[in-house]
Structure 1
């Protein structure tokens, strides 16, 4: 397994929206928000691009406020979609190609629907896909577990947000390390 390289990585935040978030189990939502915070902070510190999607935002609302603010400060690309796979959203492939990404970090909801279909599509394109278990949520625990199992079966690496962030950092020094360490605490 190759080390994650910040120069060829991209973070994809799938559908972390207000009305969907309200339906998620609180413990899963708390973990997802913490993981997203760590990964978006690390991406900012290491200049890793971020693409966020919003599933039918007219009905499901925008990205949750805390994450929306963090993404805005990061100037992330935000794409509305109706497709379940974020990889099939209009503009997604172009955004991916602009960054020459090889490793894709996927966080979001729901694990067994949009996250899984995104992962399957990206793995099918020959990309290395990483799914942090603390960065995904589904309304039901069994659906989340099935989604993670399907992501693994599709060829994704199942990991954690901290594992990804510290793999990008490589060493415990410098401003990026300080920023990520603060987000982890």
Structure 2
């Protein structure tokens, strides 16, 4: 199953000021999420972002704030975005069934969100090189569990090129420079 821009939502999970710096590779996550958010904006893919208990963990990290939707991120207490009514409302508003997920922590909020969204009838894809946990072994366990559940794990470039679908377009010319 291919990811299609016109059928996708991008869900950025909990890439926050006090949480991101303690991940196993925070720059990889921030770079990957930034690339996805810029591509989504250019290709008119709705971007939805969550913040786990922002009063304690802080807002979305500064590097990504400019790419947040005008309505901002949705605060949550549930680990799974699928259990937060405000997030589900945003995901169902456009009637898009594909959800590309990235963020932190891979083995907690990203994993539970992907599993929960699949249960609710969405087609989730988890971007491994834009997601992380504090410990690499937790990331590895998350990727294995997702695969066992039939949820595809993908990379930033896989998402970008599947959303683009063809070379030579103005969008391709603009976005290909982001990955080179």
TM-score computed with the length of structure 1 as normaliser? 0.92
User: Is the contact made by 1:81 and 1:90 (CA closer than 8 Å) also made in structure 2?
Assistant: no
Cα-Cα RMSD: 1.3
In the other structure, the counterpart of 2:10 is 11
**Which SS does the other structure have where 1:18 is aligned?**
coil
Deviation at 1:154, TM superposition (A): 2.2
Deviation at 1:170, TM superposition (A): 0.8
1:55-109: per-residue Cα shift (whole Å, max 9, x none)?
Answer: 00000000000111222xx436510001000121231111111111111100000
**Which SS does the other structure have where 1:51 is aligned?**
strand
In the other structure, the counterpart of 2:179 is 184
Structure 1 residue ranges without an equivalent (≥5): none
User: Is the contact made by 1:41 and 1:183 (CA closer than 8 Å) also made in structure 2?
Assistant: no
**Which SS does the other structure have where 1:133 is aligned?**
strand
Aligned length: 180
In the other structure, the counterpart of 1:95 is 90
Tell whether 2:103 aligns with 1:104. Answer: no
In the other structure, the counterpart of 1:57 is 54
d(CA) in 2 for partners of 1:11, 1:17: 17
Tell whether 2:63 aligns with 1:66. Answer: yes
Q: Name the structure where helix makes up a greater proportion of residues.
A: 1
In the other structure, the counterpart of 1:143 is 138
Deviation at 1:138, TM superposition (A): 0.3
d(CA) in 2 for partners of 1:76, 1:134: 26
Deviation at 1:130, TM superposition (A): 0.7
